[in-house]
Amino acid sequence: MDPITLDGALNLVIGDFRFYRNLLRLFAGIALLLAVIGIYGVMSYFVSARTREIGIRVALSARPGDVLELGGAGLKLGAIGVVLGAALAAGLTRLIATFLCGVKPTDPRVESAERLC
């Protein structure tokens, strides 16, 4: 058996955990990017569908508050999405807890947990 350094031994023990952590980071980044693109697309569609209506209302001397109320529907949909997403994330913490070693699912400092496994 060849001698190895302490870093090499540590990589043998927690190398898989680092791989899965980095893979999870990649998928989380992709999910965040898709969510941002989706929200932008929905709001862009909403504005382009109502551009004429907004222009006519402004031309007929509508108050700025009345025009802003048209955007309220988009904000309501966004708020509903945030609430549902937060509820699903809170519900999935038990599943996530089975994959974590030595930390709580709500712990913001996960980097130090790789030494505990």
Residue 113 has a pLDDT of: 46
Residue 117 has a pLDDT of: 52
Three-state SS string over the chain comes to: CCCCCHHHHHHHHHHHHHHHHHHHHHHHHHHHHHHHHHHHHHHHHHHHHCHHHHHHHHHCCCCHHHHHHHCHHHHHHHHHHHHHHHHHHHHCHHHHHCCCCCCCCCCCCCHHHHHCC
Reported as a single tens digit per residue, the pLDDT across 4-29 is: 888 888 878 887 888 888 999 999 99
Reported as a single tens digit per residue, the pLDDT across 61-92 is: 888 887 777 777 777 877 898 899 889 988 88
